[in-house]
Structure 1
Amino acid sequence: MDLDLSLGDGLHAHILSVDDAALLVEATHRETAPSLWAARPVGPYAFQDAQAALSLWDPAAQGQFSIGILREGRLLGAVGLMPDGPRSMEMAYWIRPEERRRGIASQAVHAVTFWAHNALDAARIWLEINPRNEPSLHLAQRVGYHFEQRLPRHCREWSAENTEHDSWHDCLIWIHLSERAPALPDHDHS
């Protein structure tokens, strides 16, 4: 699978691979919250951990993969796509801390949503959002996603290694269907 998608403002997207491990290490060096990659989200990545995480996100295996959002060779964030059934995918996104609230996530989610609808024939793309995550809720609305349902105590906090001792919170499911294609406003900067 190949992707070289221009997002405007000097941003472009490409599918991340193990060869991009150094970019992931540099991008997460200031992260304190869980990041997108691997079976267990973590903050900053060591080089070997980044290689291992990115090797699990392999589009050649017809599974989940990660699309890096770059400007001038610097990884600013990523969008993950995780197939969960015929023509259905979950999307997750992450932006490095110092680049948040600049419209990058909106641009990336908008562009990758339509790319996935067209290039991957994904009829349904969905986001799983913590109800307390106001920026993600606003982003979902802004780029044309629609609220579908609330799943009680569905998402893990990752505050403990053992699932039985961990905290769980509700998740809101927001969907984008391929026949819904509103344009993203040019003035968006969140």
Structure 2
Amino acid sequence: MNLTADLDLGAGLRLRTLTSQDAELVVQATSTETGRALWAAHPVGPYTLNDAHAALRAWDPDAGTQTSYGIFDKDELLGALGLMPDGPHSAELAYWVRPQSRRQGLALRGIRAITPWAHQDVGLTRIWLEIDPDNTASRRLAERAGYRYEQRLARHCRTWTSPEPENDTWHDCLIWTHTHPEPTPIPDEEDGQ
């Protein structure tokens, strides 16, 4: 599964796969963050250079497990999206925007670009978002991006107040999905069809 992307978002913005060379940009982008960023449950708040390198190694596109994509305005990282495959044709999509770039439509622009790309170029038939029921802005974003509410999972999501899952608290999550039908196989010309 090739998860490498470089997409034009318009207005001078690009969405491209993040690599280890982007560690300093992650540090800059998270410098004013007070909550969790996309790349890991911890650390909360700004990333150090070591944190950024560790996170980007965990999201290495060559590993084929999960990949992050930066939203760029020239050489400035404004936000990120992450695809986390959970099956051969399904992946969770996460998103994060740096504090000073929020409420500018960047997450929506990124989701609207990566969703058709992931369906067509990666072959995903189901892409899903995991949203805290209290996060009204994320629910609106999912709907505006063309995702549909699927279900509520009781006590499914961690709050990440403790590094050990058994000592953490869990809350309900809403699952919103975007589906694309399986591609129709093209018959071989040799079959005479």
Corresponding letter in the other structure for 1:152: A
Code of the aligned partner of 1:78: A
- Whole-angstrom distance in 1 between the partners of 2:144 and 2:65: 28
Deviation for aligned residue 1:168: 1.0
Q: What residue is the counterpart of 2:44 in the other structure?
A: 42
1:185 is matched with: none
CA shift for structure 1 position 178: 1.6
Q: CA deviation at 1:8?
A: 1.1
- Identity within the alignment, %: 54
Q: 40-49 or 102-111, which moves further after superposition?
A: 40-49
1:169 shift after superposition: 0.7
Asked if structure 1 preserves the Cα contact closer than 8 Å seen for 2:41 and 2:160, the reply is: no
In 1, distance between residues paired with 2:40 and 2:166?
20
2:107 corresponding residue in structure 1: 105
Distance in 2 of aligned mates of 1:92 and 1:119: 18
Tell me if the contact between 1:148 and 1:174 (Cα under 8 Å) persists in the aligned partners: yes
Once residues 74 and 143 of structure 2 are traced to their aligned partners in structure 1, the CA distance between those partners, rounded to angstroms, is 29
SS at match of 2:7: strand
Unaligned runs of 5+ in 1: 180-190
User: What SS does the aligned partner of 1:173 have?
Assistant: strand
Aligned pairs, number: 179
1:125·1:175 contact (CA, 8 Å) conserved in 2? yes
Q: Is the 8 A contact 1:38 1:54 kept in 2?
A: no
Corresponding position of 1:182: none
Calculate the aligned-residue CA RMSD, in Å: 1.2
| 2:175 aligned with 1:178 | no
Q: Compute the TM-score of the two structures, normalised by the length of structure 1.
A: 0.91
Q: Displacement, 1:174?
A: 0.3
Which residue identity is paired with 1:76? L
CA distance in 2, matches of 1:81, 1:4: 14
TM-score, length-scaled by structure 2? 0.89
3-state SS in 2 of match to 1:79:
strand
Residue 40 of structure 1, CA deviation? 3.6
Tell me the amino acid that sits aligned with residue 16 of structure 2.
H
In 1, are the aligned partners of 2:43 and 2:51 still within 8 Å (CA)? no
Over residues 48-103 of structure 1, what are the superposed CA-to-partner deviations in whole Å (9 max), with x where a residue is unaligned? 11001101111111110000000021000000000000200000000001111111
Partner of 1:133: 135
